[in-house]
């Protein structure tokens, strides 16, 4: 079986699968194991979360209530705080899959509030989790803000190392006021996650923007799994290679999740799976992760080669990544020792013992920005919108209680 790959994508974050169409990834695949470690699926939202344009919409819906949360045990070794997993409805499989917990280095000054399902007249609706400032015990539950009036910048960037951050509605004096967008200077080793609203039932939570680490320094992303039989205690052992993520990453608007793996088909496009290289959070707004890595790789062929890899996979010139651990094992066994393809080139999943987390930058940068005034021709739309004053304080998870971690006490690495 002939193998091919784009050499510039084999370093750093972009170690992608490079098998040609001539050899099927399904060849010699074993029946699904229990648990089935998934080679494609949702990225835990505490690890990475996309932003979406416009007013906050309800999250994904499930046609039935989720099972009770699993009891998890953090694997031995590694730093980071353990953020528990959760059930997520997979409409491609027609069942709930378990989005395994992550060992996460929290964004500086933040703590995680998990998401959960709410019962509605249309099914069970997901309310996303979010990173709450450590100094606060909760967020005010606000009315849902008006539709965004963001139209992008009307002046060029102050420099090549600036990204545009879109404007947003903020609650002030019992009404919504539009805060215009601005240019933000990039900081090496840091990703800016803009302020955003999170939909919770009929209300909304406003989450202030914050600096976060790049993917390779956030901790350990464990693979989601599907169970035929529910375990008494779940201890994950396989991780999703962060080196692989960028070569097969998708956003599904309305679901508030990144997805990794093989969604390279027209049917997946119709279902809303948007390739990371094509996703925009607004007309002039880059996905925060995309903006960071494109800026970090500026001057190289990174973007051109990455787009070429996605296009080749869609066209069938390069095979899609393995969809499960069993499928990956079959591919690895089929590789002849004298071929140039290495184990890394066909590895989506890795044993936890082989996972390496890059060092973190420890000094948090100040926000260096330049305000961008609203375009004059839409100024009337920016007038404050009066809404009732909020009366509800939101601090617990939206619904389902989370199990206590069975891991031993762990002091976060500083």
Q: Which two tokens stand for residue 298?
A: 């500026």
Within 13 Å, how many C-alpha atoms sit on residue 220's CB side?
26
414 CB contacts (<8 Å, ≥6 apart)? 362
User: What is the pLDDT, as a whole number, of residue 391?
Assistant: 36
User: What is the pLDDT, as a whole number, of residue 336?
Assistant: 58
Distance CA 402, CA 404 (A): 7
User: What is the pLDDT, as a whole number, of residue 367?
Assistant: 57
Question: Could you say which residues of the chain have pLDDT below 50?
Answer: 1-29, 338, 340-341, 369, 371-414
User: What is the pLDDT, as a whole number, of residue 382?
Assistant: 34
Q: Please give the share of the chain, as a percent, with pLDDT higher than 90.
A: 50
Compute the C-alpha angle 405/407/412, nearest 5°.
95
* Residue pLDDT, tens place only, 100-152: 999 999 999 999 999 999 998 889 999 999 999 999 999 999 999 998 888 88
* Residue pLDDT, tens place only, 160-193: 889 889 899 999 999 999 999 999 999 999 999 9
User: What is the pLDDT, as a whole number, of residue 409?
Assistant: 40
The 3-state secondary structure of 3-26, one letter per residue: ECCCHHHCCCCCCCCCECCCCCCC
Q: At 242, phi and psi to the nearest 5?
A: -65, -30
User: What is the pLDDT, as a whole number, of residue 403?
Assistant: 35
Domains of the chain, residue spans: 7-394
User: What is the pLDDT, as a whole number, of residue 335?
Assistant: 72
User: What is the pLDDT, as a whole number, of residue 353?
Assistant: 83
């Amino acid at each position: 079986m002939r193998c091919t790959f784009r050499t510039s994508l084999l370093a750093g974050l972009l170690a992608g699968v490079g098998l040609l169409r001539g050899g099927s990834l399904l060849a010699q695949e074993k029946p699904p194991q229990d648990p089935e470690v998934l080679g494609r699926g949702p990225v835990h939202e505490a690890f990475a979360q996309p932003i979406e344009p416009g007013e906050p919409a309800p999250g994904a819906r499930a046609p039935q209530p989720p099972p009770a949360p699993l009891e998890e045990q953090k694997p031995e070794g590694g730093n980071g705080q353990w953020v528990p997993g959760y059930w997520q409805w997979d409409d491609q499989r027609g069942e709930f899959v378990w989005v395994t917990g992550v060992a996460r280095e929290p964004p500086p000054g933040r703590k995680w509030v998990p998401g959960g399902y709410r019962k509605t007249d249309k099914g069970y609706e997901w309310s996303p989790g979010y990173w709450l400032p450590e100094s606060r015990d909760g967020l005010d539950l606000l009315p849902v803000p008006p539709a965004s009036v963001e139209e992008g910048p009307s002046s060029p960037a102050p420099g090549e190392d600036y990204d545009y951050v879109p404007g947003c509605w903020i609650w002030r004096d019992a009404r919504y006021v539009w805060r215009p967008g601005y240019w933000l200077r990039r900081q090496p080793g840091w990703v800016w996650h803009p302020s955003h609203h999170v939909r919770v039932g009929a209300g909304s939570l406003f989450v202030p923007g914050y600096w976060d680490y790049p993917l390779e320094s956030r901790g350990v992303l464990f693979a989601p799994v599907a169970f035929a039989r529910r375990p008494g205690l779940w201890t994950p052992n396989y991780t999703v290679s962060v080196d692989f993520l960028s070569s097969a990453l998708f956003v599904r608007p309305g679901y508030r999740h990144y997805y990794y793996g093989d969604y390279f088909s027209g049917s997946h496009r119709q279902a809303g799976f948007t390739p990371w290289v094509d996703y925009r959070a607004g007309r002039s707004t880059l996905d925060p992760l995309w903006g960071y890595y494109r800026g970090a790789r500026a001057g190289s062929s990174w973007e051109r080669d990455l787009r070429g890899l996605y296009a080749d996979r869609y066209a069938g010139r390069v095979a899609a990544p393995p969809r499960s651990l069993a499928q990956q094992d079959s591919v690895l066994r089929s590789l002849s020792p004298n071929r140039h393809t290495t184990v890394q080139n066909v590895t989506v999943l890795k044993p936890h013992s082989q996972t390496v987390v890059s060092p973190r930058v420890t000094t948090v940068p100040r926000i260096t920005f330049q305000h961008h005034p609203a375009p004059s021709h839409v100024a009337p739309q920016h007038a404050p919108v009066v809404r009732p004053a909020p009366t509800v304080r939101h601090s617990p998870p939206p619904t389902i209680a989370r199990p206590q971690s069975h891991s031993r006490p762990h002091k976060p690495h500083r």
